[in-house]
Amino acid sequence: MFLVGGAIEVVQSDVGREASWHDMLRNLIGVWIVLAWRHRLDSKQSAQASAHTALMLASTLLLLFELGTTAAIGVRQFKVAHQLPQLYDFSHNDPTPYWQGELTPSKEYAGPHEQSLRLDLNTKLYSGGSLGNLPSDWRGYQRLHLALFNPNSEPLPITLRINDWTHAFGNNAHSDRYNTRLTLQPGAQTITVDLYDIEQAPRTRRMDMDSVSQLKLFVSRLPEPTTIYIQDLRLE
């Protein structure tokens, strides 16, 4: 099971999915459960069951832990799916289950919420924050509302990118997603984007507005590191 599970993870890494040691552990927990409990269920081998007590206890505890983790993720995803019109709940103290990038909650420049998200940008080719765990069904709304704060004295060019799952599992073509260049002036700034423009952005098709998979803010080749704050992110 270890070898087969490893082979499956390798194949997944070549078709747009991520390889995971955690998935391989779950495979093995299933094997351990069978090895531990089959002696209890087989009357012919019940006399040997005591030798497997430690394995039974360990595998059962591991299974319960995995079920609890899965239940917690399920509750979190239920909340995400039902938090519209907000695309992100700014009350979270840990943005990592939702965002990728150098983001931390901050009491500075909080805007309409008790806290904002501080986004630290570096000098790499591309640097930014990507919201990948968000409500995916944007139908029934007309506009995207984004409130940002630039604490610097100079304007900052930044790109807003949005794509659906069709794009995510495709060839990642620039012409198959929504991209727009913005210039953040010093201080607070509100950006409003018509969802019709997002839907029409892919060159050869319409974006699936019921399966939006990612919203990303990023910069390119900054001369020096800088910071901005995300104050609000919602649909209207």
Where, residue-wise, is CATH 2.60.120.260 in the chain?
99-235
Q: Provide the pLDDT confidence category of residue 222 given band limits of 50, 70 and 90.
A: very high
Note the pTM of the prediction, 2 decimals. 0.74
pLDDT given for residue 194 in this prediction: 97
**What is residue 207's predicted lDDT score, i.e. its pLDDT?**
96
Contact 127, 121 (CB under 8 A): yes
pLDDT band at 81 (very low <50, low <70, confident <90, very high): confident
pLDDT digits (tens, 9 = 90+) for 97-122: 999 999 999 999 998 999 999 999 99
- Residue 135's pLDDT band, with cuts at 50, 70 and 90, is very high
- Rounded to a whole number of angstroms, the distance between the first and last alpha carbons of the chain is 49
| Model confidence pLDDT, tens digit, residues 144-201 | 999 999 999 999 999 999 999 999 888 889 999 999 999 999 999 999 999 999 999 9
Q: Which numeric CATH code is attached to 99-235?
A: 2.60.120.260
In this structure, is the dihedral angle defined by the CA atoms of residues 96, 98, 100 and 105, taken in order, positive or negative?
negative
**pLDDT given for residue 196 in this prediction:** 97
**Quick one: three-class SS letters along 171-227?**
CCCHHHCEEEEEEECCEEEEEEEEHHHHHCCCCCCCCCCCCEEEEEEEEECCCCCEE
